[in-house]
Amino acid sequence: MIENKANKDLERRIDLYVNGRLNAEQTDELWAELIEDDYYLDYMKSVANVKAVIDRQKSEQPTTKIYSFQRVAQYATAAAVILIIGLVGFMNFNTSSELGITPVEQIGLDVVRDSSGVSETVTNEVIREAIRLATEGEVEQAISLLESELDAVDTPQLKAEIALSLGSIRYNNADYATSIENFELVVAQQNIEVLTLEKGYWFLGNTYFQLDRLDEAKQAFNKAFELNGAYSRVAKTYVDALSNISE
């Protein structure tokens, strides 16, 4: 595996948080860090979703292997994410097989929280402007701006970051078929940052999952797992669940 560059202490505190084991002061300290780190905001949402499914399965004590695909609420302790990024992750169950997981409902864009409208963690001005437009409902304008920039750049890392933002906006608007092309472009770039590559595979897996292309989803999740970063444990849960599907 690639050397793990994740913040293990932060991951540990996120795990404690979703299990209700942080006090109020510790929770405030954790959120002070999370609102400055979009990567771990997404990570916490994913951990909370998986925790919700596990708790549900334990309480139901099913007698058969048949799944009931119902819409269920995201794990309660992750509700604070709504205040930060305005997204609610939820799980869908269908009647044909028991997966216990579903693709994420939306991908968290950078939050609006500084004087210019977008977090300072976004350094590229075009991406910043596109995120601002998307969060204000000007989705088509945001997409057009990113598409033009994508054609104009040739630096692998920047191309990957633009494609990642473009794919995320399209994913959030249920344009999964087109967002796949963007995420595939991300993972096709050479010598990019591991965190960017990991996100590319994680989002690609979720996009395949949305389209019921489960074999391809499992392969993408497995790539995210092998990168051994912040999404590794969650990705492994998805890989294991998809591996249990009867052919």
Give the residues across from 91 on adjacent strands. Answer: 72
CA dist., res. 139 & res. 127, Å (int)? 13
C-alpha to C-alpha distance for 24 and 33, rounded to whole angstroms: 15
pTM: 0.62
**pLDDT tens for each residue of the chain, 247 residues long:** 333 445 778 888 888 887 788 787 777 677 767 755 767 777 777 776 665 555 555 555 543 333 333 332 333 333 333 333 333 233 333 422 456 788 988 888 754 444 444 444 456 889 999 999 999 999 999 999 999 999 999 899 999 999 999 999 999 999 999 999 999 999 999 999 999 999 999 999 999 999 999 999 999 999 999 999 888 888 999 999 998 874 4
CA distance 85 to 155: 29
**Residue 87 vs residues 107, 132, 153: alpha-carbon distances, Å:** 8, 16, 31
Tell me what pLDDT residue 21 has.
81
Question: Quick one: pLDDT at residue 60?
Answer: 54
Angstrom distance (rounded) from CA 123 to CA 173: 24
C-alpha closest to that of 247 among 222, 220, 214: 214
Topology of 8-243 in CATH? 1.25.40
Closest CA to 207 of 161, 175, 160: 175
Q: Strand (E) positions, 97-238?
A: none
Quick one: how far is CA 44 from the chain centroid?
A: 9
Delimit the domains of the chain by residue range. Answer: 8-243
CA–chain centroid gap for 235, Å, is: 10
Do 203 and 184 touch, CB atoms closer than 8 A? Answer: no
Question: Which pLDDT does position 26 carry in this prediction?
Answer: 78
Tally Cβ neighbours within 10 Å of residue 218.
21
CA–CA distances in Å: residue 206 to residues 199, 214, 238, 244, 246: 11, 10, 10, 17, 20
